[in-house]
Amino acid sequence: MNAPRQAGCSSWPHRLALAVLGGTAALVFVGGLVTTYKAGLAVPDWPTTFGYGMFTYPLTRWLYGPWQVFIEHGHRLLGALVGLATIALAATLQWKDPRPWVRRLGWVALALVIFQGTLGGMRVILRQQTLALVHGCTAPVFFSLVALLAVATSRRWHAPVEATRRRPLAPAAILALHRLRCTLALLAGLVYVQIVLGAVLRHFPEMASWRQFAMTVMFHLTVALLVLGHVVAGCWLLRRLGPLRTWLLGPACLAVALVLVQLVLGTFTWGFKYAWPEFLGHTAWAQRWLNVAYSGPQVLTTTAHVLTGSLILATSVVWFARACRLYHACCMETADEPSVRKPQAQTQAVLPRPVMSVRCGLLPLESV
């Protein structure tokens, strides 16, 4: 399934995309720490830090100062580094990648990271909790976009074209692949709705009624079950794809593992923040760790829950993008076969017309 890199493509965009992806994962985790410790306003000014420039703030004051200032200023530094790396990624894509849609996505990523940094600064200046919520909901979108760029610039992105030439899919399998695309599109949308609901619960107004809180929690749990159901449905549809499903097994298995981990983390996060069963509340372990504010398990579990949500969204987007790529490759091969074109009426009964199917996909056929 490994295909040679397409002629004219460089490996540098993929390397930079992976670097930005790793930096963004760390940035999401540190941002979760800032929210967990309520350190968003530990540094009262922006873009300066206590009157110093962001990169000229004394190192000793940062390393040996208060913990809230350490993580908040560290969050800013890491965000600046991710922004600089995104500039390099967008420029490299413009220079090295021949595909117009990939170059456009690079500029979209750059605009999004600038918007995200501005949101964080306005949160400090205006002291608005709503901006903190929007800031937390924008980060997973940027993370998923960079994950898509990392996949699209990899060597394996061109693997389906070679694989479908050797092993063409049957019309019934292509129809299952089309249904898989629809399922994964819904999965990505549901995961993002779940992220927004989680952000609302983390920034829930203290003056809100308990009915509003209960409705939000129930909605959060309902969407979680829908996400789990769509992941299971996506894995079930893979079994009809034959040998070509190998290219989709990686994100499928990762999605299953992440969703199961997220369910466990969500259960523990609820217990840490609100209540544990009575039989756990009186144990020595609970008195030492569970019932202590800002203990290690509390902070790590809550922050890992935030990071895992972004990972699930990025995995869903990658899974969907790979399914679209494989579907387009199959449509290309189907359109080139004379035996499939005749008789046309029978083909349309099983499979939508290749041209129309490609136009409904994520990526234009002529640019992949």
pLDDT at 167 over 50: yes
- 3-state SS track over 103-128: HHHHHHHHHHHHHHHHHHHHHHHHCC
pLDDT in tens, 61-101: 999 989 999 999 999 999 999 999 999 999 999 998 889 99
Q: What is the rounded CA–CA span in Å between residue 356 and residue 353? A: 5
Q: Average pLDDT in the 305-311 region? A: 95
Which has the higher per-residue pLDDT, 234 or 5? Answer: 234
**Residue type for 282, please?**
H
Per-residue model confidence (pLDDT) at position 289: 56
276 forms bridges with which residues in the sheet? none
Per-residue model confidence (pLDDT) at position 367: 45
Task: Work out the pLDDT band at 292, boundaries 50, 70, 90.
Answer: low
Per-residue model confidence (pLDDT) at position 163: 59
- Angstrom CA distances, 116 to 30, 67, 132, 209, stand at 15, 24, 10, 30
Per-residue model confidence (pLDDT) at position 318: 96
Q: What is the rounded CA–CA span in Å between residue 227 and residue 186? A: 9
Task: Work out the pLDDT band at 229, boundaries 50, 70, 90.
Answer: very high
pLDDT in tens, 38-54: 888 899 999 899 999 88
Per the prediction, the chain carries an average pLDDT of 82
Around Cβ 90, how many Cβ atoms within 10 Å? 24
Q: Which of 8, 357, 334 is nearest to 158 (CA)?
A: 8
Using a pLDDT cut of 70, give the percent of the chain over it: 79
Strands (E), 100-253: none
Lookup: tokens for 102: 């990939």
52 forms bridges with which residues in the sheet? 49
Task: Work out the pLDDT band at 262, boundaries 50, 70, 90.
Answer: very high
Task: Work out the pLDDT band at 147, boundaries 50, 70, 90.
Answer: very high
Per-residue model confidence (pLDDT) at position 210: 82
Per-residue model confidence (pLDDT) at position 306: 93
- Angstrom CA distances, 318 to 157, 226, 332, 363, stand at 11, 19, 21, 13
pLDDT at 340 over 60: no
pTM: 0.84
